[in-house]
Chains A and B, each alone.
Chain A
Amino acid sequence: MNIRLGAREASVGRLSKQRVWLVYAVVSVITGGSLFDIVTDTEHWPFSQYAMYSWVNRDYSLTLTRLFGVTESDPPREIPLTTFPYLQPFNSYRLRRALNWMLQSANREQLLGDALRDVLRRYEERRLAGQHDGPALQGVKLYRLYWKLDPWARNIDRPDGKNLIFAVTPPVEEKR
């Protein structure tokens, strides 16, 4: 915004020295924190290195983990649990990252069991409260899916590999 100083030059409000240093301190913290993360390639929220897509995937394939719910129907079906109403407050990507972290832990069996049972519990609570229209589930399974990339994504619904990593069903008492 261009400001013309002229007749009103005498009526300019000036900042105190302390105020000026406060401003510089704020700007320094924001800039310094961001620069630190950029240089070290780390993330300390709210500062970030803004990694975005700064890595190259040289393998022409995609591997990711995905949750499937096992329905109570006869025969049971497996439905992907990827939509927000099923997983709230998680979204598919956040939950997948959380589960991937658990997969790399020493006590992954304990962690995954607790996590998947929690996903199932919240799914069922929200279903019974009418907050989504998904089917009743008797269990949850975690798979690792693999695709060879197709330029037109024609195989998006048919992964080339599907390996079961972990599965949970609720305790018998909860089913009554």
Chain B
Amino acid sequence: MSLLRERWEIFWFEPASPVNLGFCRILFFGALFALYLPQDFVAWAEVSPVFWKPIGLFRCLHLPVLSAPLLAVIQALWKVTLGLSCIGLFTRLGTVTSFILGAYLLGLPYNFGLLSHSNAILVFVLGIMALSRCSDSWSVDQLLRTARLRGEPSVTHPLMSGEYTWPVRAV
């Protein structure tokens, strides 16, 4: 039993360098930014309410279809946070915001008659990245920290940690 537990903990929390997770952050948010930059969610605000059939998440949280101007603001904000998360600037704020807004925008079309799983994994990964320490490497935040705390070894050479393993395992 203790061997199983040890292997379980190694699987999730084996100490690793932050480089891999940082690179994954760039790839994931970069791909999302490129894929959704041309996408326009505002048109859903102009669909007749007769099509509105809210899914569980929207029904439980009483989330409505926002007005066209508000949807335009939210989708612009989402795309900006995707870009910021990609380059790793204001990463914590960016990843958390992109998760919350992404869950709303990606789920919105499913309230109009067709439920599908095609982009559900994106919401899961956004949530995992929002909780992770993905800006500790390959990020503008890391460069700024290094410049600000010059010579601090924990900044110039981040500790090996399980914090950089579990997000990759979870995805």
Interface residues of A (CB under 8 A from B): 1, 3, 5, 8, 11-15, 19-20, 22-23, 26-27, 30, 43-48, 50, 88-90, 93-95, 97-99, 101-102, 111, 114-115, 117-118, 122
The answer, yes or no, to whether B124 is at the interface (CB within 8 Å) is yes
- Is B44 among interface residues, defined by CB-CB distance under 8 A? yes
10 closest A-B pairs by beta carbon, nearest first, are A98-B113, A13-B159, A13-B161, A46-B120, A118-B48, A48-B117, A89-B43, A114-B50, A94-B114, A97-B114
The reply to whether B13 and A15 contact each other, CB–CB distance below 8 Å, is yes
Give the residue of A8, A14, A50, A98 whose beta carbon is less than 8 angstroms from that of B114: A98
The answer to whether the Cβ of B143 comes within 8 Å of any Cβ in the partner chain is: no
CA distance A113 to B110 in the complex (A): 22
Q: In the complex, are the beta carbons of A13 and B160 less than 8 A apart?
A: yes
Given contacts A3-B15, A8-B160, contact A45 B48 (CB under 8 A): no
Question: What total of chain B residues lie within 8 Å of the partner, measured CB to CB?
Answer: 47
Interface flags, B60-96, vs A, CB<8A=1, else 0: 0000000000000000000000000000000000000
Q: Give me 7 A-to-B residue pairs in the complex whose CB atoms sit less than 8 angstroms apart, sorted by A's number.
A: A1-B17, A3-B16, A3-B160, A44-B55, A45-B55, A45-B120, A118-B51
What's the least CB distance linking A118 to chain B, in Å?
A: 4
In the complex, what residue of chain B is closest to A117 when comparing beta carbons?
B48
Instruction: Across the interface, name the chain B residue whose C-beta is closest to A44.
Output: B56
Inter-chain contact B47/A22, CB cutoff 8 Å: no
Kindly state the separation between the CA atoms of A13 and B57 in the bound complex, as whole angstroms.
37
Using an 8 Å CB-CB cutoff, how does the interface string of B97-125 with A read, 1 for contact, 0 for none?
00000010001011011110100110110
- Does the CB pair B47–A13 fall under 8 Å? no
Q: With an 8 A cutoff between CB atoms, is B141 at the interface?
A: no
